[in-house]
A and B are shown apart, each in its own frame.
Chain A
Amino acid sequence: MSKILIADDSQFMRGILKDIVEGAGHTAVEAENGTQVLEKLVSESPDLVLLDIIMPELDGFGVLQQQGQQAKFIVISAVGQEKMVQEARAIGALDYITKPFEASAVIAAINKALE
């Protein structure tokens, strides 16, 4: 069982992802903006972060640039533009899932990242 930080400004989307994460047997913690992600990387020491791109205060790209390789990151975002996907991967995202997603795709990405 791993600790997974769900970072999304949408309460609705955090709920969906929390059900997926906990259904797969992991512990979920939540952040609703990029600043909280950086704080919880220190206070919660998650094994993995499911990271939205469009968030207040600090967006997902800002988090990836500032995170200091403290955890593994999978980006889950409505932004599916190829340049954005490439940029996220270039600065540390292990995987990039475009919303909407199948729960099985998220679980597969989590399992692969935690290997």
Chain B
Amino acid sequence: MNQLTPEGTVALEKMAQDGADKASLALSQLIGQHIGVEAVAVREVPLEHVVGTIGNPEDLVSSIAMDISGDLYGSVILIYPQQSAHNIADLLMKHPLGSTRELGDQECSALKESGNIISGAFLSALSNYLSLNMLESIPDLASDMLKATLDAALAKFAVDEVGDAVALTVRFSMSTDEGAATGIVPTIVINAFFVLLLDGASTRKLLASLSRISGGDEMTV
């Protein structure tokens, strides 16, 4: 497995923080109220351990997956635990909280767009920071158990590539300010996991770029 250097990890964390900030701004503008990022964590984990960093294999989640092409090849997946998916659907659709019990066409479209925008914010931060070109595909939404979701994503990688691939997970939870400010409206917590899966060659390219940048140049993200 590839190893992130301490400097590379710091660089990646700053980049992820920048991406998460942009993602929260995106959600704030979509929803019409401020959404704050409470936590961002970057971890490099073997592919077979990705599920464990997010939850239990049987947890029900909604995932929005996009392929990456260009200078790097892989996938990005935004994973919402089921309740968070329903909460964010309510917020995006401007429905009363608790309205969404299952995802219809409108809710799926809203969730896919949230994934598109959040992933776009992350990939833009990554691309502009590393000077690497990345284009995401049309988002694909699935509601399933966590393990099934990630297995489907990993199936796109060739068997001999899996060992060298890298998975970067970013966890961020968001809560609306409205609840805290008024004390009347309950604070809404939305948990989301952003997973970046890259094949071996792309991982080496990413790590080389991180190493080069963190080795001297001042970060601008």
Interface residues of A (CB under 8 A from B): 9-13, 16, 54-56, 77-84, 98-102
Given A79-B135, A100-B28, 15 additional A-B pairs, CB 8 A: A10-B116, A11-B106, A11-B109, A12-B112, A12-B113, A77-B120, A78-B117, A79-B124, A80-B121, A81-B124, A81-B134, A83-B127, A98-B120, A100-B27, A101-B29
Residues on B with beta carbons closer than 8 Å to the beta carbon of A9: 138
Q: How far is the CB of B100 from chain A (nearest CB, A)?
A: 14
What is the chain A residue whose CB lies nearest that of B112? A10
Partner of B26, one of A54, A79, A84, A99: A99
Is B40 located at the chain interface by the 8 A CB criterion? Answer: no
Q: How far is the CB of B106 from chain A (nearest CB, A)?
A: 7
Q: How far is the CB of B147 from chain A (nearest CB, A)?
A: 28
Partner of A78, one of B25, B92, B109, B116: B116
Q: How far is the CB of B117 from chain A (nearest CB, A)?
A: 5
What is the chain A residue whose CB lies nearest that of B127? A81
Within 10-36 of B, Cβ neighbours of A (below 8 Å) are at 25-30
Residues on A with beta carbons closer than 8 Å to the beta carbon of B138: 9, 54-56
What is the chain A residue whose CB lies nearest that of B22? A80
Residues on A with beta carbons closer than 8 Å to the beta carbon of B30: 16, 100
Contact across chains for A11 and B105 when beta carbons are under 8 A apart:
yes
3 nearest A-B residue pairs (beta carbon): A78-B120, A100-B29, A80-B124
